[in-house]
């Protein structure tokens, strides 16, 4: 079971001295992604080596706890403790997390198919709404309309208007 940040802060206080409130902000930062995804995969965002170094950039290299004498504790130690408690004693790398992402069919993978696709074909493949991929002013021709999903309907409407005005 995942430990709430309070349990991590209590663990830090037992290990390094001071009170849980001395460490709470660091542990809250590591678990902030739980606000959006409350399952174990939220850890992919900060529970790794790069996340520990990012914590140093956010909180500084160390903090001074409120224990007797105000001991200086490296943020890296606190981050490593948090990650080990959540990741079964390991500190994974960012590559460990990202390397396990399995793309769904249709997701862009960065591999070229070798075929050139027209912008309208790309919009159709990506399921873009018609209003987003419809006819737009072309930057190359200030007076013309670029072909889009509504091109034929627009042309028909223009022809009907021309016919009405000529009659």
DSSP-derived 3-state class of residue 137? strand
Confidence at residue 104, expressed as pLDDT on a 0 to 100 scale: 78
CA distance 134 to 124: 11
CA distance linking residue 57 with residue 61, whole number of Å: 7
CA 107 to chain CA centroid, Å, is 15
Structural contact between residues 80 and 91, judged by C-beta atoms closer than 8 angstroms: yes
Predicted pLDDT of residue 9: 95
More confident residue, 134 or 122: 122
Please give the full DSSP string across 57-118, using - where no structure is assigned. Answer: HHH-SEEE-SSTT--EEEHHHHHHHHHHHHTTT----HHHHHTT--PPTTS--S---S----
Each residue's pLDDT tens digit, 38-94:
888 899 999 999 999 999 999 999 999 987 678 999 999 999 999 999 999 999 999
Tell me 42's DSSP state: G
Pick the more confident residue, 4 or 141. 4
The answer to whether residue 161 scores a pLDDT higher than 80 is no
Alpha-carbon distance 40 to 1, whole Å? 10
pTM, rounded to two decimals: 0.62
Q: Please report the pLDDT score of residue 4 as a whole number.
A: 65
């Amino acid at each position: 079971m995942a430990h709430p940040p309070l349990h991590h802060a209590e663990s830090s206080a037992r290990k390094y001295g001071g009170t849980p409130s001395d460490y709470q902000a660091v542990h809250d930062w590591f678990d902030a992604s739980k606000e959006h995804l409350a399952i174990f995969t939220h850890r992919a965002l900060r529970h790794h080596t790069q996340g520990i170094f990012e914590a140093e950039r956010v909180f500084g290299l160390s903090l001074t706890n409120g224990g007797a004498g105000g001991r200086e504790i490296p943020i890296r130690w606190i981050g490593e403790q948090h990650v080990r408690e959540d990741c079964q004693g390991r500190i994974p790398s960012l590559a460990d997390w990202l390397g396990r992402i399995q793309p769904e069919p249709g997701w862009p993978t960065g591999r070229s198919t070798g075929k050139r696709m027209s912008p309208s074909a790309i919009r159709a493949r990506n399921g873009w709404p018609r209003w987003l991929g419809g006819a737009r002013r072309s930057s190359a021709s200030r007076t013309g309309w670029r072909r889009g999903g509504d091109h034929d309907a627009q042309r028909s409407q223009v022809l009907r208007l021309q016919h009405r005005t000529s009659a």
